[in-house]
Structures are given as C-alpha cells and as structure tokens.
Amino acid sequence: MTMKKELITEQRHHQTFEDLKHLDAKGEEFWYARALAKVLDYADYRNFVAVIEKAKKACEVSGQQVSDHIVEVNEMVSIGSGAQREMDSYALSRHACYLIVQNADPTKPVIANGQVYFAIQARRQELADDDAFKALEEDKKRLFLRNELKIHNKQLVDTAAQAGVDSNLDFAIFQNYGYKGLYGGLDAKGIHATKGLKKSQKILDHMGSTELAANLFRATQAEEKLKRDNVQTKTDANNTHYQVGEKVRQTIQELGGTLPEALPTPKKGIAKIESEHNKQLKSNDEADE
C-alpha cells in the first residue's frame, strides 16, 4: 500500500513538472523559476535563488554558456484573490532544471521526484540528439566532426606544449607519432600519398565521418593521457601519442571495423562542403525574410 502511494505521488509530481513546462516562440521548452520553486517546496524564493546560483556555476564548470540555459525574465505570479503581479524570475531550460534539482535541498521528498523526472527527460533528449546526428547526411557529419577536431587539436597543442612540444616542427613530429600509431606506421606524408591527394589538400579535410571520428577520439584521448600522466618531455609526449593512436587502431581491429588507411577518400573536401552549407543557410535566411 505504501509503495503504491509513493508511486502515485511520484507520478503526480512528474505530471506537475510536465504541466509547468512552457514553449517559447521557437518551440523550445522552458520552466519559470518561481513556479518551479513552489513545486519544489521552497516557500522563500530567495533560498531558491541560491540554488539557481549553484546551478549557474555547475553550468560554467561543464563548459556550457549559462545564458543558453538560465535567462532573467519577468514572471506573472498570483498574489491572492485572483490577482497577479509581474515579478523578476528566470526562464530555465530542461538542463538548468536538472542542475537545480541536483543542487537543491535533498531532505525535501519532492526533490527526489524532480531529479528522476529531469534525469529521464535529459536522457530522452540525449537519445533524440543522437538519433538526429545519425540521420544527418554524410557531408554534414563530416563538417561537424571536422570542426570538433579543429577545436580539440588546438587543445592538444596547448597540452603538448606543457610537455615541451613548443615549436611548429615539434608539433608536426608529435602529430606524426599519433598518426603512425593509428595508421599502422604511416605518417602524415604517407597518409597523404595513400589517399592520392594533391600537395595543397589537407588529409583531415578529405576524411569520411568514420575516419574523422577515429582521429577525434585519438586527439581527445591523447590530450587526457598527457594530462593524467603528467608527461613532461617531448620524447614521452611523442610516445604517449603513438600509444594512444595504436590503442585506437587495436580497438577498431577488435571490433571488426575497417582500418583508417583502408577507408574510402571522399571526393568532396571540407572547404566545398562548408561553402555549400553557408550558401544553404543564406538561402534559408533570405526565404524567411
């Protein structure tokens, strides 16, 4: 009987969280802070604001823009006898609500329900995003992954520099060690030749999404390992990069995947894809005007 009562209560709270949801002009969902505070059993809104501040910090630490998830707004609040008054508040994304319930008072029973609800909703969004990514055309996948790789290569440069890889030549050598591990001994020049590319064409701009994903994994894991092992010398940095590349290659083999040097080379380069993408965006913007 107790379990049934708890289940009914949990379902009721989940329905309440769902009922509080609003949609903005773009169709994106959000929750008002004051309304959420009331459901989460915060009688004093000032105490809830302190929880929002913790959520802001958590958002920053995770590398996300606070303004994408927590925005100052005015909210109409009931003040009794059917009257309402406009009061300062926040518009909160689902992710912001998730961070808030994770930082809220754990002694409040309703908080646990909030944590379950927003965790489930966050996971559903992750799955939806993943499905959306899978549905992208190959060129769009390539453009996305290539841009991600640019970001992580810059981070890898900074991390490698702390281990003494401090010149362009040093980094070229360091990068080749990673390639050799991943491509069975081929360096950048060897990969370039294997792909049959022209001298002016960059190898990363002529990789399919599968190959780009393997290189993105190599770059991110090399960065993490350099930091984790506190690598201090160029020699150790080069060896670390090789080991990471070799491990990624080994994993591909174990999974029965196609080794990177054997993957097909796309005819279209990233520069052309990016140009076509920008033209499409411009065309869409003009159509909306």
Residues 144, 268: one domain? Answer: yes
Q: Domain of 145? A: 137-274
Query: 117 lies in a domain?
Result: yes
User: What burial class does residue 71 get, using C-beta atoms within 10 Å of its C-beta: 0-12 exposed, 13-18 middle, 19+ buried?
Assistant: middle
Same domain, 57 and 144: no
What pLDDT does residue 125 have?
66
User: Where do we find the tokens 């097909």?
Assistant: 264
pLDDT, residue 132, reads 62
Domain assignment present for 279: no
Domain annotation covers residue 282? no
Report pLDDT for 250.
92
Q: What is the pLDDT of residue 7?
A: 32
The pLDDT value recorded for residue 187 is 96
Predicted local confidence at residue 146, as pLDDT: 92
Specify the residue for token string 């959306």: 132
Do residues 167 and 52 share a domain? no
Domain boundary among 99, 134, 169: 134
Same domain, 130 and 6: yes
Instruction: Tell me, yes or no, whether 187 and 233 share the same domain.
Output: yes
145 and 105 housed in the same domain = no
Closest listed residue to residue 207, CA positions, set 160, 149, 128: 149
Which helix H or strand E contains 75, and what residues bound it?
Answer: strand 70-80
Q: pLDDT value at position 191?
A: 97
Tell me how many domains the chain contains.
2
Residue 202: what pLDDT?
93
Amino acid at 134: K
- What kind and span of H or E run contains 31? strand 29-32
Residue 79 inside a domain? The answer is yes
Instruction: For residue 288, tell me if it sits in a domain.
Output: no
Residues 35 and 75 in one domain: yes
Q: Do 7 and 79 belong to one domain?
A: yes
119, 134, 149 - which closes a domain:
134
The residue whose two tokens read 């090789």 is 242
Q: How many residues does the chain have?
A: 289
**Global confidence as pTM:** 0.54
pLDDT score for 5: 35
Burial of residue 24 (CB within 10 Å: 0-12, 13-18, 19+) is exposed
- Same-domain pairing of 209 and 83: no
Contact 19, 61 (CB under 8 A): no
Structure tokens at 106: 């754990």
Long-range pairs for 101-109 at CB < 8 Å and ≥24 separation?
101/40, 102/55, 102/58, 103/51, 103/54, 103/55, 103/58, 104/40, 104/42, 104/51, 105/42, 105/51, 108/40, 108/41
Helix (H, G, I), strand (E, B) or coil at 93: coil
The DSSP bridge partners found for residue 80 are 83
* Region of residue 91 (phi > 0: left; psi between -120 and 50: alpha; otherwise: beta): beta
In this structure, are residues 163 and 237 in contact, taking their beta carbons and an 8 Å threshold? yes
Distances (CA, A) of 60 to 63, 64, 99, 224: 5, 6, 11, 20
- Domain final position from 134, 162, 192: 134
Q: What pLDDT was estimated at residue 163? A: 93
- Which residues make Cβ contacts (< 8 Å) with residue 232, sequence separation at least 6? 163, 164
As a whole number of Å, the end-to-end CA separation of the chain is 60
Task: Looking at the structure, tell me whether residues 122 and 141 fall in a common domain.
Answer: no
Mean pLDDT by 10 residues, the chain (289 residues): 35 64 88 92 92 90 86 86 86 89 81 70 64 70 90 94 94 97 97 93 94 94 93 96 95 91 92 83 59
Residue 286 in domain: no
